[in-house]
Every structure is written in C-alpha cells, then in structure tokens.
Amino acid sequence: MAIDDSKLTDREKELANEFTATKDQLRKVDKQVAMVMDLNKCVGCQLCSMACKTLWTSLEGREYMWWNKVNTQPGKGSPKDWERMGGGYKVLFGGKVRDPVRGKLPTKKEFGDMWKYNWDGVVNSKAGDVHLQPKNDDGTEPDWGMNWDEDQGGGEYPNAFYFYLPRICNHCAYPACVDACPRNALYKREEDGAVVVDQERCKGYRFCLEACPYKVIYFNFIKKVSMKCIFCYPRLEQGVPNACARQCTGRVRWVGMRDEPNSLIYKLVKVWKVALPLHPEYGTEPNVFYVPPLSPPRLDENGKLDPSKARIPMKYLRYLFGPEVENALDTMNKEMEKVRKGGKSELMEILIAREWKKMFEPFTTDPATLDRKPSSIK
Amino acid sequence: MKEIKLTRRKFLKVSGASVALLSLNSFGFFGGNSIANATQKLINEWDYSGWEDLHRKEWTWDKITWGTHLVDCYPGNCLWRVYTKDGVVFREEQAAKYPVVDPTGPDFNPRGCQKGASYSIMMYNPDRLKYPMKRVGERGSGKWKRVSWDEILEDIAEGIVDGLVEQGPESIIAEFGPGNGGYLHIIAPHRLAMKLGATHLDLDSTIGDFNRGIYETMGKFMFMDSVDGWFFGKLLLIWHMNPVYTRIPSYHFISEARYNGAEIVSIAPDYNPSSMHADEWIPVEMGGDAALGLSVCQILIEKGWIDVPFIKEQTDLPLLVRTDNQRFLRASDMIQKGRDDQLYYWDSAKQAPCLTPLETLTLPCDPALEGTYKVTLLDGKTVEVQTVFHQLKTSVNKDYTPEKASKLCKTNPETIRRLAEKCHRAMGHIQVMVGWNSPKYYHGDLIERAMCLILALTGSFGKKGSGIRGWNESLFEGALFQTFKEAIGTAASMKELPRQMKMIKKFKREDPTITDEIASIRMERWRDANELNMTVPAFLYYFHSDYKKAWDTKEWHCPTMKRPFEEYFNEAIAEGGGWEGFVKPAKDQIPSVYMWMGTNPARKNRGWTKNILPSLWKKYKTIFGFETRWTTTLLHGDYILPCAGFYEKLDTRFPTPHVPWLTLTEQAVKPVGEAKMEWEICCMLAEKIEKAAKKRGKTKFVQRDGKEIDVSDMGKWQKMGANNIDEIMEDALETSALLGNLPVGTNLKKMRQEGIVRFTGVSTFDPISMNLATDIKPEEPIIPLTWHTGTKKLPYPSYNRRIQFYIDHPWFIEADEQLPVHKQNPKIGGDYPLRMTSGHQRWSVHSIWVTSEQLLRTHQGRPFMFMNPEDAKKRGIEDGDYVKVYNDFDNFKIHVKLTPSAKPENPVEPGQVIIYHAWEPFMFKDWKSYDAAIPGMVKWLDFAAGYGHLNYFRWNWCIQPVDRAMAVQVEKA
C-alpha cells in the first residue's frame, strides 16, 4: 500500500527518516557468518534439532521451541503451512524498495505443543487398560507437531518424491523481523551478523513473528518475549562452530565467512553457485544457503527407468530455490559425472569434506578444550 | 557491540523516508497509536550487547566426561563428551576426535545421532526407574510397591532356588540382549546365568538379526568392513537396508562415496528414505528380490561378465554334483576311507576328477567350470556329474531371464539389464548394503544367497569397498573372557588361556585340515552346549508356548514344505538331527524363572501377547528384569531391578569392527534414586542365592545331561575378586591386550585420557572375531575375508570350505533349494490383500528412546502406519485416521499416515503398509501392538543341522521367527 508523502506531517516524515536510519544501523554488520547445507547429504535425523534443544531450548518457556528443525518436503512443515503465512518483502525496482508483505501470527499449536503423557495411568492400571497418549496443554489430542508430516512427501507411486529440509533462522541481510519491531529489540550483531532479539528490550509484541517469512521466531509464553535461533553466537565468539553444524553427523553444514573469497562458503555460494537461498522471493536475503536435492530418475508406465528425468519436479524446486536452481543442479550433475569418469572436481572435494574440521574454518575450536565454569562468565 | 547514538545532524542526512513509511504502513503501524510506540525510544541510547551474557551463561559447565550409549544400535560406538552442571547432565556433544585412518577417504567425525544427542533428556524422562519395585497385586494389575534392595533380591533368590529345586537348572530361562547393558555390565548376568546352569536363549535368534543366507553361503555371516570402507565401493546396492534411518552416523560414507564417483542404487518395494539420495531406485515386489538378483546373475553369466579365476578358487561353483541323487561327488563315493566332506573338481587338463583340498583354496588343477562328465564310483557304478556352475547356469537360464524374472519380482526387464551393466562396470567393487531386513523374510535366506552370488560372480569380496555385511560383536575379548575366568587378574587368565588353547589344539588334532577359524567355531559350540548353556529358543517355544500352534499352521508356511512342520521338528531333535546338547529345557521340564536384561521381550518376541503371555508366561513363577525405564515386559513382570543409565556407570559399548575403536563411557553423575550398576546388582543377587540355597541345605543341582551345578560359592564367583567396576574394566582391557585385540599397554588410565582405542587384531579365543578373517591394519579400513581371498588362501568355514552356493543337505534337496532360487512369500496370517513390512525406526534404537518425550515430539508422538493413498481411498480411509489392522492371527489399531512412497495394491500384487518397529505395546490400545499381526513363523529349513556349517553356535545358525510381509487387511476403526 503506497503512502502519499504529501499527506504526512513534517513530524511524521522526521520520524520515518529516523526509523529508516535506525533500522539501517540495526542491520549493519562488520562480518557476516553464513551457513551452507547440502540437502543431498541430509538424512533428516534431527540431530541438529536435538543439539540445539539441549543447548538452548530446554529452559523455562522455551521447551516447545525448535530453533532448528528438519521437515519433509513437500509438506506443510512447522509451523503448519508456514510458506503460506506471509511476511518478508516484495522486492521492487531492483532491490531499491522492499515492500513488506503482511504476515500471519503462527499459533503454538501450529508449531507443535509441548505434549504431556499419561504415565501414571499406564504404570498403575491393569495391563492393557490405559495406553500412553500425548495431550496438548489444553488437554486436546495433538494434530500437528514440528515434524508431523515426516516422510509423506508428494507424487504418485512409483514416482513418489520427498527430501529433507533443515531450517534455522536465516540471519538475513534484510531481516523483516528487525524492521517490524517497534521496540527496535531485534538487531544483527556486528561481529557475526547473527540476528538476535534483545531479551531486555523485547516487550512481546510479536510483530517479528508476523514479519518473518520463514516463521522461525517463537514466543516465550512464560517470559512474554520473542525468542529465536541465536546462531550460537556464544560459540562463534570462542571459535566453536554452531551446535547444529558441528554436531551434524551427515556432514551437511559448512560454516564460514560469506564474503571471504578463500572460504568454502564463498566457493559454494559465489564461485560454484550451487548453494542457494530458500525462497529468495521473500526478499530478506538469507545467509543460509542450500545445495538443492538431486533425485533418482522417474519410471515410465511400464516401470522402466528414464534417466533423463529427475523425479522431483523442476517446478517445485524453482518454487523453493528460485530460477537459479536449474544451473545449480546442472553443475552438480556435470561435476559428479566428471568424477565418475575418473576426473577431479574441486566442488566434489569440498562436498566430500574428507577432513571434517575444515568445513567450519575459521571456527575449528573443540568446545571440550574450553574452561567454561559458570563462574567464569560474569 | 552495537550502540545506536543518532545525532540530529546525521538523522537529517538519512534519505528514503518513503520506503520506511511503506514499511511502517504495511506492518500496521499507522492507524493506531503504535506509531508512538515505534518511535518512543528511537533517539535513546541503548547498549545492545548488554543482554548477550544471558546465553553465554547458559553454555557453561562444571565437568566433562566421556560418554557413549550402551544400546543395540549397529554399529553405535559414538564417542561423546558429557557436560554436567549442578550435578545434572545437561547435554552431550560428539567428541569428534576420531583420527584420520585412511587419508584417501573421509574421517569418522562427528559420529552420533539425535538419540545420542538427547540421552541427557531421556535419562530424566518420566518413565525412568529409580527404585526397586515389587508387584503387590495380580501379575499385570499395575499395583506396585517400592521395596529395599535386600527385600527384592531375597525374594528373587528364593524364586530361583525354588526353580532349581523343583524343575532343575534348565528351567531358569535367561534372555539377554545387547540393548541397554553395555559390555562389562552384560557379562555380569551372563556369568550369573552360567553359574546357575540356566537355559540361555540365543540373542540373535530372538532378535532375528541372523543373516541366514549369508551364513548358508559363506559359512559365517559375522564379518563386515569398517564403515569407512563404504566410501571406496564403486557400486553400492542398498538392498534390505535403510541406512538413512538406521546408520545415521555412518551414512556420510555413502553420500560422500557418491561424490567420489560411486553409484548408489536403492532396491526396495517402497520409495524409502534411503532411496532419495540414490542415483537410481529400483522397485521390487516384496520378497521378490531373489528373482531380481538371480536375473542379474543370469545376465552376468550369459555375457561372460564374470571373474573366472575368483569363481574357480573361492567358490564351490566348479565342484561336481551327481545327477543321480543331486548330491556332491564325495571322496567317500570314490575311494576307500575317503572323507564324506571332501569333494571333487573336474581337472580340465587331465579330464578326470580331482580332489578339492580341504586345508587350502589353492587349486590343485585348472578345474572345469562347465560340463557334464562320467565318473566311476568305488562300487563300480558309473554316474553322471555336472559342475555346480553348470547346474546354476541351466537353472538361471531356465527361470530367471529378465523377462521371466520380471514376472516374479515385478521389476522392468530393461531395469534389470541396466543393473547388470552397472555390476559389470563396477566388477570387483560392488558392495551389497544389506541390513537385517532380509533375514526377517520367510525366504530371506534365498534373497541373501542371490545377493552373494552377484558378489561372487563379480569377484567382489576381500577388496576395499566391496562385499556384504552381517553382524559382528567382537574384539574386546578380555571382557568376554571374564565369563569363564574364576577371578580377575593375570594369574586367572594364565590359568584359563591354556585350557582354551588346549581345546583348539584338540579340535585341530582330530582334523588337521581345519583352519584356526573352524577350530574356534568348534570350541565355541562345545562351550555353548556345555558351559554357557546357550541354545535357540525354538525348543522352549515349541514345547512350552503357543508358538507351536502357529508353526503347525500349514497354510502359513511355504507350500514347498512337503511334509508337516512337526515331522521336520521331530527329525531335528531326534538323535543325529544335529541339535544334540541344545534341546533345552526338556519337554517335561516346566519353565520356572524368567530373567532378562538389555532386551524387551514383550515388545520384541513376535506375537508375544498371543504366543507367550497366555501360556509360557503363566508357567513362570518368578519373573524379573534389569531395566532403566518402565517397559511393557516389566509391567507384566514381578520384580523390577532399576539400573544405572549410560552416563551413570563405567563401561564400553559392545565392540564392533564397523567402528573399529573400543568406546568408553564413564560415570558423570551417580545413578538416579536407588538405581545401581548391573554388575553390582548381580554380585548382590549371587550372594542372596548362595545364602538362600544354604539356608535350605541344598546347594548342588544336576542338569539333565548329568552336569552338576554348585551355588555354594556363588557370591565369590560372581564378584571375581574385584572390589569395583574399575578393576573389572582394568582386567578386561589387560586381557584384551594379551589376546591381541588392543595395543599392548592399554589400560583404564589411557582409556580415560583418550575415550577410544583402535582395535589391533583378532584372536582364536572368539570365533566371532575370527570370522573377520583379516589383519587389522593401522592405515586402512578393516577389509574382511582377506585371509581367504589373499595370499593365505585359507578355506571358508562352510561345509565345502568354499563360498557355497550348492547345499546338498537332504532337506534342501527335498525343498529344491540346493541352489539359490526364488520362492514366493507365503501368506502368513491368511489370504489378505496387503503386506505389512517394517524396518528399524529413526526415532529410537529399538524401544530404548521410544518413550522419550522430546523425541516423540519429532514425529507424531504415537504409533503410525504408512499406507498408499489409493489403498486408503478404497477403504474410505483418510490421512490421520485410526484403523484396525487384522489377519487370522489377531488384530490391532493404529493411526495412518498416507504416502505415495508405499506400494499400492493392484489386481495381481499385494499392497504395502509399513510400520517401523519398536513401539512399546503400551502405546497401542489394549496394549496390542503390530505384533498382533505377526505369528512368528519359522522356515522349516532353519532346523536342518548336522551338516558342516549348518550347526548352531553362539549367534549363528539359530532358528529365528520372521515378521516381514505379513498378510493383513485394513479397515477404518
């Protein structure tokens, strides 16, 4: 909805200018740490989710949150149908204007409630009388959760298709949440570009939940503040990679400096161009990138393989990763074929990641070598 | 640190007001008083880094210890760091300190999975057991009382002595699994059961993880490479395995092999999670895999895409078979005092039969691979002989051309040809990634025999990245050795070792042609029958439970079983049937006591609610289990022994060559409540048993075979002279170094520094480690079978001491299974249009984590079944509906998840429903789980014995109930 500048008072114009300047300041970073996730290595195990869970979201009011989660695509994900909830920007005039898209506020049940189980009944009743069942906070039977539609996917047998999509906050260059906060409680850390919610400024208005097109911000119903993935900044500060990345046993995630030409992230995103942002049309310029999924060929009506046709429809991949996805997959296929024929490929060497530690350079510190007694942090 | 200090001057310079106003408007800031809120504090100063310590403080700890998870996950052995704060374990993170072994491949870091990453949550889950509990109402009434350790152990001891007195030692039934115990702590109850002379049920048989077909072919199945070997394969066939769910920490070796030029092919009826990252997915009819495999072999043979030198040297394909009786041509047929198990080649130069050497694979001649010949027997009779290869070729050409096989396996013939071409291209470097799905099919042995045939024809054994895999638990033999020793310490080892060596020597004296591996197997078989009292549960089940009813149901068996099941059973247990020494408890010996540890029988034993609960379970007078959490089995039991969790005791995970390091876990915190370590509980219980027996004035009991059981020194014996678990561990490490499994000088101090230690070698003490038949090299993945395929040319432990594709046991000939063939799945459960398949789940290791409230929230938090939308629609079923699944055996209820990945039914083929296993029965209505559709059938040929390798020894050739592809119908509940 366009605004007629001429109808604004001078005070309103002044405030608007100040607003813009402040948000620019809040977005400003010295360095941007970025992450690449290779979807061809992801097994959907939720180790990343658990790594995050035990570290950040087991405390009061956070128990139901999943700052990191993995969902099956195609699917409704978490919160349920998040891709249809709006938020983000419509980017106009080659990026000169970002027109915010109104978003919906996801409910706790759409994220998945903190279910409770009837243990007493199971243990203390006659065998067979009471069986273990989950209940939502309000006593109702759950009908959604963080990974409810796992492994259901799409297509038709024998051409069914699905793959896993791990998600954290994208720590965007233009975070809609930062713009949306009337309290200016959200900002990007200058040191690493992590988007965080200042827990002391936040008053729990939840405009950020609406504005975020990826719907990765949660509301702490006990503390009455918004909370989200903090990109493990306390770890990055110590040279330790993010828990979700360091603990990923599928060796899916690379962490590094986005704009440092020698970093593997730079090579994957800028040189080989095989790592793409999710839903680039949301206009927030994510700093998490994905190597899009290859897939086995389709079968014709006689059950014969057609090696020329991947089973995930290109239309769906374009929807997720934008038009660049075709080139990215072409590059992947070409480089894989080259290696199969005995050739060498820098891209394949990066993706194999023979020496695991190098996936995170310069964040290669082993956390167990740190002395972090509770008293050591003021 | 971000500080916003906007000055008036700077503020006026800022442009782009209209953009900002657009934002404000779209976010809904105009039209209310929010504009005031939005701007209120803008010009204030604010130190944004002020709050950031909040999260920094959350990432702190008091102490770090080593941890691993003592479960039956394969291969497991992930090394973790356990972080403790304020006396509570608050998280764990992979240690990720595996050294580079082979620099040409990826390293092992950071091994772990989401279960391991959340054990710190699970150990405090609401179902965690904290105190000894005793049933106070009827069995299964849910009435429990917290009691002292003294009281519970005295009660159990009385029950055990009652059993010893009334029914004899074999009436005490011990069922131990590898889940939830560890190694030292699971050796403890083994030792207890052994001292009691209890019947010890084979764990592989009760789990169903015995790869029958690999065993039938190779004479063993407990070999595999270390998982880093996968990276080096050129063609990985993911076949009856779902590594995306079940090999989470090892999967990267597959995805990275693909980037290294390998082709990944997934073969399965459903587009399962392990298909998504494959280069190709090949659909196959449920249980139709043997037809597919044999068709690939048909093409390989027809095109000449075979490794002839390998086949001639390593396999029995050049051996001669008599066409008059389908039996091998034997030395006993041809020469005076000739051996029954020595067979013949056809010497293509001399055009005469040539004896196969028993002690080596080195060829004495150039054997003919094809042809029909005449030989004159000792009795003067002339018979026709053919090579096994000749018969195999005839068989596959007759029945398994791609077009014919396609009718059986429903795979397109062109796709089969494509697969054969891939095999040809990857010659010598194919790996069949089989899990333990195939052995759970009724004809799973035939499927695996066909897989092995592809590998043998292409020479894909004994090379980096090639082969097939089974199950191997070995290489920490010092711990296993403790089962037999009187006490810890070198002196006791030096007493016990010569005894074991003498046995090996005795077997080698009796037959000088046998290898150390075969001698070790023979020793194990003797120990199993006479010392460990191990056996398969089939006899207990047939004599004392309702499994008999299922097994005697002819319609649920394969129609090619020519005689009634009972006849085969009786023949097996009769003298000469091959099961001498293993039929226990006796038919007239009523089972009296049941104890378990590291397993959850009410969940695991097929059809438990119908087969065991109403019959066998009622016969037991005392039922007790070692557990960390409430399980369905416990809820049906009498006594609960609460055990220490994985971070509450010192131990190692059971060792495996797949991840070739011994992995330590230590006590980060004391056990919750009054829980205790299993080793400690066993020591206390042994003392109580000794005391109870002495009180009655009877400490000696006799087994049916005349062996005397003496419990008068049981307390001392159980304790092994150790004061604590550290001393037990020290002894186990020291003995393992002595046996050659671990580097010299390995001790607890070093383990506590490093957390892991890499294995160095195998030993004759344990046939399971000998089954690897290889030298473990420091800079290479473990490559099994090189003692056979390499320069040593040692024979295999199979009947004919080669990779054996022809089995001339009379029952196999009667069944027409002397060669690998395809057979249709029987309609187990009745004539219904759907087949229920399964597999290990992603969200738990068996049932250990299945009730973890956090992990439950990563799926639907309740049991569910996958079903194709077309099959559902026909039945009026929608996604999320609650349905009843039934067959002639029983029924259960479950929620449905629709997916086009499951195979739909059509007029000629059954549809597929999929339930991943290990839900607790108490998660289902009436506690009737999917096991209610599984009668637990056994293939009659499993009872064949007395034929070379077709003989039971620990974890091998163990009759096992099957559970895949059960015939069911589904309707809306």
Each residue's pLDDT tens digit, A170-217: 999 999 999 999 999 999 999 999 999 999 999 999 999 999 999 999
Q: Do B27 and A211 touch (CB under 8 A)?
A: yes
Residue B27 scores a pLDDT above 80: no
pLDDT tens figures, B54-74: 999 999 999 999 999 999 998
Residue B239 scores a pLDDT above 90: yes
Residue B961 scores a pLDDT above 50: yes
CA distance B968 to chain A (A): 20
A37 within some domain: no
Residue A376 scores a pLDDT above 90: no
DSSP code at position A109: H
DSSP code at position B873: H
Measure the CA dihedral A370/A372/A377/B3, to 10°.
40
Q: Which percentage of chain B shows pLDDT scores above 70?
A: 95
A360 within some domain: yes
- The verdict on B973 touching A (C-beta cutoff 8 Å) is no
CA distance B268 to chain A (A): 11
Q: Which residues of A touch B280 (CB under 8 A)?
A: 296-297, 305, 307
H helices of B601-677, in order, are 601-604, 608-611, 616-619, 632-635
* B-chain residue closest to A335, CA distance: B259
- The verdict on B723 touching A (C-beta cutoff 8 Å) is no
pLDDT band of B694, cuts 50, 70, 90 = very high
Residue in B651, B663, B668 with CA at minimum distance from that of residue B63 = B668
Residue B145 carries which side chain, given as an amino acid letter?
Answer: K
- The verdict on A229 touching B (C-beta cutoff 8 Å) is no
Measure the CA dihedral A173/A175/A181/A182, to 10°.
50
pLDDT tens figures, B797-806: 999 999 999 9
Measure the CA dihedral B118/B119/B124/B126, to 10°.
80
Residue B73, SS3 per DSSP? coil
- Evaluate whether A252 touches A37 at the Cβ level (below 8 Å): yes
Q: Do B20 and A20 touch (CB under 8 A)?
A: yes
pLDDT average, residue stretch B542-555: 98
* A-chain residue closest to B844, CA distance: A45
Instruction: Give the pLDDT score at B18.
Output: 42
* Nearest neighbour of A296 by CB, restricted to B2, B279, B857: B279
Residue B208 scores a pLDDT above 50: yes
Q: Do A336 and B258 touch (CB under 8 A)?
A: yes
Residue B555 scores a pLDDT above 90: yes
- The verdict on B261 touching A (C-beta cutoff 8 Å) is yes
The per-residue pLDDT of chain A, averaged, comes to 96
CATH number of the domain that residue A196 is part of: 3.30.70.20
Q: Do A19 and B38 touch (CB under 8 A)?
A: yes
* A-chain residue closest to B636, CA distance: A127
- The verdict on B501 touching A (C-beta cutoff 8 Å) is no
Alpha-carbon gap, residue A211 to A102, rounded angstroms: 7
CA distance B309 to chain A (A): 27
Nearby residues of A323 by Cβ (< 8 Å), 6 or more positions away: none
Residue B804, SS3 per DSSP? coil
- The verdict on A332 touching B (C-beta cutoff 8 Å) is no
A346 within some domain: yes
- The verdict on B508 touching A (C-beta cutoff 8 Å) is no
Q: Which residues of B touch A26 (CB under 8 A)?
A: 2, 4
Measure the CA dihedral B442/B443/B444/B450, to 10°.
-170
A27 within some domain: no
Residue B77, SS3 per DSSP? coil
CATH tag, B225-469: 3.40.228.10
Residues in chain B: 973
pLDDT band of A378, cuts 50, 70, 90 = low
Measure the CA angle with vertex B886, ends B885 and B889; round to 5°.
Answer: 145
Asked which of A369-373, B1-5, B914-918 is least confident by mean pLDDT, the reply is B1-5
Instruction: Give the pLDDT score at B12.
Output: 34
* B-chain residue closest to A302, CA distance: B412
Q: Do B922 and A55 touch (CB under 8 A)?
A: no
Name residues 120-139 of chain B within 8 A of A (Cβ).
120-121, 126-127
Instruction: Give the pLDDT score at A19.
Output: 87
Q: Do B42 and A342 touch (CB under 8 A)?
A: no
Alpha-carbon gap, residue B852 to B873, rounded angstroms: 33
Q: Which residues of A touch B127 (CB under 8 A)?
A: 119, 123
Instruction: Give the pLDDT score at B2.
Output: 60
Residue A113, SS3 per DSSP? coil
Q: Which of A13, A29, A54, A358 to mutate to test the interface with B (most CBs of B within 10 A)?
A: A54
pLDDT band of B37, cuts 50, 70, 90 = very low
Instruction: Give the pLDDT score at A3.
Output: 63
pLDDT band of B8, cuts 50, 70, 90 = very low
Asked which of A150-154, B201-205, B894-898, B947-951 is least confident by mean pLDDT, the reply is B201-205
Number of domains in chain A: 1
* Nearest neighbour of A18 by CB, restricted to B6, B56, B251: B6
- Evaluate whether B769 touches B471 at the Cβ level (below 8 Å): no
Burial class of residue B498, CB neighbours in 10 A (0-12, 13-18, 19+): exposed
Q: In Å, what is the CA distance from A107 to each residue of A198, B775, B858, B859? A: 22, 59, 18, 19
* Nearest neighbour of B142 by CB, restricted to A3, A126, A353: A126
Across-strand partners of B914?
Answer: B837, B866
Distance, C-alpha A155 to centroid of its chain: 25
B833 against B50, higher pLDDT: B833
Q: Which residues of A touch B630 (CB under 8 A)?
A: 119, 122-123
Show the tokens assigned to B529: 């029958």
Q: Which percentage of chain B shows pLDDT scores above 90?
A: 93
Residue A291, SS3 per DSSP? strand
Residue B372 scores a pLDDT above 70: yes
What is the domain extent for residue A234?
Answer: 43-116+142-376
A135 within some domain: no
Q: Which residues of A touch B123 (CB under 8 A)?
A: none
Q: Which residues of A touch B925 (CB under 8 A)?
A: 131
Residue B5 scores a pLDDT above 80: no
pLDDT tens figures, A303-345: 999 999 999 999 999 999 999 999 999 999 999 999 999 999 9
Q: Which of A18, A73, A252 to mutate to test the interface with B (most CBs of B within 10 A)?
A: A18
Instruction: Give the pLDDT score at B1.
Output: 53
Q: Do B922 and A145 touch (CB under 8 A)?
A: no
CB atoms within 10 A of CB B971: 12
Per residue, the 3-state secondary structure of B532-581, as one string, reads HCEECCHHHHHHHCCHHHHHCCHHHCCCCCCCCHHHHHHHHHCCCCCCCC
Domain(s) of CATH 2.40.40.20: residues in chain B: 834-972
* Nearest neighbour of A187 by CB, restricted to B2, B103, B114: B2
- The verdict on B861 touching A (C-beta cutoff 8 Å) is yes
Q: Do A20 and B858 touch (CB under 8 A)?
A: no
- Evaluate whether B662 touches B760 at the Cβ level (below 8 Å): no
A275 within some domain: yes
- Evaluate whether A59 touches A314 at the Cβ level (below 8 Å): no
Show the tokens assigned to A106: 């996801």
pLDDT average, residue stretch B143-171: 98
Instruction: Give the pLDDT score at A94.
Output: 85
The question of ipTM being above 0.95 is answered as yes
pLDDT tens figures, B558-575: 999 999 999 999 999 999
Alpha-carbon gap, residue B477 to B765, rounded angstroms: 8
pLDDT band of A97, cuts 50, 70, 90 = confident
* B-chain residue closest to A365, CA distance: B96
- Evaluate whether B258 touches B230 at the Cβ level (below 8 Å): no
Residue B492 scores a pLDDT above 50: yes
pLDDT tens figures, B411-439: 999 999 999 999 999 999 999 999 999 99
Q: Do B415 and A305 touch (CB under 8 A)?
A: yes
CATH topology of domain B834-972: Barwin-like endoglucanases (2.40.40)
